[in-house]
Structure 1
Amino acid sequence: MKVAVLDINGKDTGRQVDLSQDVFAIEPNNHAVYLDVKQYLANQRQGTHKSKERAEISGSTRKIKKQKGTGTARAGSIKSGVFKGGGRMFGPRPRNYSFKLNKNVKRLARKSALSIKAGEQSITVLEDFNFETPKTKNFTAVLKALNLENKKSLFVLGGSNNNVYLSSRNLKGSEVITSSELSTYKILNAGQVVLLEGALEGIESNLSK
């Protein structure tokens, strides 16, 4: 699968790269994609929700009325959830929402996501670049050249690049990650995936196993 390599001015460099068919042109597995996205979102949940139950409420422990003869239901404590100010019955408790997912399923999901984007013509290959200093306007100029100003974009670098990362950090619609941080959710959440040349080898070696 041949794709033209662009420079940061959005112009064709005259070179092409061959994207692996095993990574960018497979039959997408929707269930694997669903599971990987579900795990990613589950891992974002803090799980710190908590409400007070009757044992944690401050209040009198006196039996509020006699057991029989009132014609109403029995009541032993003002802290019961049936009374105003009482504890909540079956309320939320802290819990861990994360769950395990097989590595092969995660790999299949990421290949499926990249194949979906490739099929939609939503993958751009960009030659490696760097900035002398971190400046948002430099990164904005790259977005403008690639017609991505008003589009959600995901830039995938071959390795850590502090100047490029810091230049993009203030821009809501763009995210910069390394190839090792690539996830199914981030691929599908972006309108356009921009792969730097230096990232291709890492992506294909990680996902071709």
Structure 2
Amino acid sequence: MEFSVYDQSGSVTSKIEVDDSVFNVTPNEELVHRAVVAEMTNARTGTHSTKTRSEVRGGGRKPWRQKGTGRARAGTTSSPIWRGGGVTFGPKPKNYEKKLPKKMRRLARKSVLSKRVSDKAVMVIDSVKLEEVKTKKFVEVLEKLGINDKKITFLPAELDENVLLSSQNLPNVFVVQAESVSTYDLLDCEVILFDKEGIRRLNSQLEVS
């Protein structure tokens, strides 16, 4: 499979060959779903926690005598039925990690890339170089490519500080190193933009069966 390579002015400068085994496979939707669920689940910290009646502060003394007050009997202020008391069956810290075999994770990314290619939503730029941190300059590059109004996942081979900082204020642009991209990152956009070296590296990483 072949992609046109653009420069920062939006002109085609060359072509680049990639493997059909990465960018032209039959998409496996079920596997993509499993991969995304695993990625989103693994992003959870699982630190949610409530205190039980034994963990809340206070409650050591009986609030009032058992009989004669006209009130309901009570043995402790830490009871779950009291305001400020413990919580019954509340959340506790938990590990939500879901493991997916490496081959399945690779195939999920291949599936999304192949679907994006069939939708004509993959572009390759030679490289993005900015002399200074300037959001306007980065937007100009996207305008020349005709994708400034799209939601973009930009996948360079290496993270350039000027590019990273220049794109941070753009809500429609997400920058991540090509070899570190997740299935969700590839799905959560309208256009995938690679730099030339970035698509080579991801191709090499995923062509391993």
Matches within 5 A, 1:1-209: 1-13=1-13, 15-57=14-56, 58-62=58-62, 76-209=75-208
Q: CA deviation at 1:156?
A: 0.9
What is the TM-score when the length of structure 2 is the normalising length?
0.88
Structure 2 unaligned residues grouped into runs of 5+: none
> What SS is found at the alignment partner of 2:187?
helix
Q: CA deviation at 1:105?
A: 0.9
Q: CA deviation at 1:64?
A: 6.2
Report the number of matched residues. 204
Superposition CA RMSD, Å: 2.2
Identity of aligned residues (%): 34
> What SS is found at the alignment partner of 2:78?
coil
Q: Following superposition, which runs of at least 4 residues in structure 1 exceed 6 angstroms of deviation?
A: none
Q: Which amino acid in structure 1 is aligned with residue 53 of structure 2?
A: R
CA distance in 1, matches of 2:205, 2:105: 11
Q: CA deviation at 1:3?
A: 2.2
What is the TM-score when the length of structure 1 is the normalising length?
0.88
Q: CA deviation at 1:178?
A: 1.6
CA contact (8 A) 2:28 2:111 kept: yes
CA distance in 2, matches of 1:5, 1:208: 21
Q: CA deviation at 1:54?
A: 0.6
User: How big is each residue's C-alpha offset from its partner over 1:57-114, in whole Å with a ceiling of 9 and x where there is no partner?
Assistant: 22244286759xx9x8x86433221233321100011122222221111111111111
Q: 1:65 to 1:119 in 2, by over 3 A?
A: farther
Q: 1:161 to 1:62 in 2, by over 3 A?
A: same
Q: CA deviation at 1:11?
A: 2.4
